[in-house]
Amino acid sequence: MKCYLCPLKCGAERAEQKGACGEKEGIRIAKYYPHMFEEPVISGEKGSGTVFFSGCSLKCVFCQNYALSRSERGKEISPRRLAEIFKELENAGVHNVNLVTPTHFIPKICEAFEIYRPKIPIVYNTHAYEEISALETIDKYVDVYLPDMKFFDPSLSERYTGKKNYFEKAADAILFMMNSKKAVFSDGLMKSGVIVRHMVMPLCVPDTKRIISWFAANKKNGAYFSLMAQYTPVVRSDKYPELNRGITAGEYERAYEELLKSGITDYFIQELGSAKESFIPTWDY
């Protein structure tokens, strides 16, 4: 069957060939473990049970998990094995199961949930370049959405991802998520809801300001905003010289001031020192 899961709609016959996301239909993962560096309401004290999937439909040139998004890492596992991993993570005492860039494996991930449905919340962690039809398929298994909102300006998303329609798709996807999940907390942890993440990029504070305004005007059901400072120049390239440095204290301050002015009261911020390569996971497979 041809695949049209994501906005690329490449129509690959994934039983035999890789799609533009870099993956055939079998699930591939590169790591699963209790991750301590998500927002405090996600990681808590015992960590977020994070599963990193291989491949990506967005492929940012500055990807912080480059080898993974380019499908250089990962091993194939069955839906049954993924269901066992859900159980292992749950038994390890993590606060939730956190699926990172999972969309291109939605049909197989749904099979895993039919085998075992964890009793802890399921977090859907995505770049937000999504089709609503794909989100509708997985929505009944998801408790918390953790989408990025990367770019507002189509020329920026085109430069850094090759996709001019990123904002259009991400905005629709985030509106769907905010309509679907209302914020619910218990013991300082998010049990249901949406956290929209935005990573401030070098020279891109004007774009950050437009994203903050968009969120302030559209937020609903208690959605949170997370302003991230962790951009790290993992991939250095002469083609994008402006990305070969982290963000400055001034850039982050201007972004934070905009957040304070926006009227958004439910938010997370990061310390500027979060931009360290040591925070980027190493892959097991």
Q: Is 109 in the site for ligand SF4 (CB under 6 A)?
A: no
Q: Is 156 in the site for ligand SF4 (CB under 6 A)?
A: no
Pick from 12, 99, 128, 211: which binds ligand SF4 (CB under 6 A)? Answer: 12
Longest CA pairwise span in the chain (Å): 52
Q: Terminus-to-terminus CA distance in the chain, angstroms?
A: 28
* Nearest distance from C-beta of residue 79 to ligand SF4, angstroms: 17
Q: Is 5 in the site for ligand SF4 (CB under 6 A)?
A: yes
73/264 Cα distance (integer angstroms): 38
The site string for ligand SF4 over 37-76 (x = CB under 6 A, - otherwise) reads --------------------x-------------------
Closer of 9 and 81 to ligand SF4 (Cβ): 9
Mark the segment that binds ligand SF4 (CB under 6 A) among 13-21, 71-79, 88-96, 183-191.
Answer: 13-21
**Residue with the CB atom nearest ligand SF4 in the bound state:** 19
Three-class secondary structure of residue 179 per DSSP: helix
214/207 Cα distance (integer angstroms): 11
Q: Which two tokens stand for residue 224?
A: 């949170």
Q: 50: how many CB neighbours lie within 10 A of its CB?
A: 25
Mark the segment that binds ligand SF4 (CB under 6 A) among 4-12, 27-35, 169-177, 256-264.
Answer: 4-12
186/51 Cα distance (integer angstroms): 23
Three-class secondary structure of residue 5 per DSSP: coil
Q: Which residues bind ligand SF4 (CB under 6 A)?
A: 3-6, 8-10, 12, 14, 19-21, 57, 104
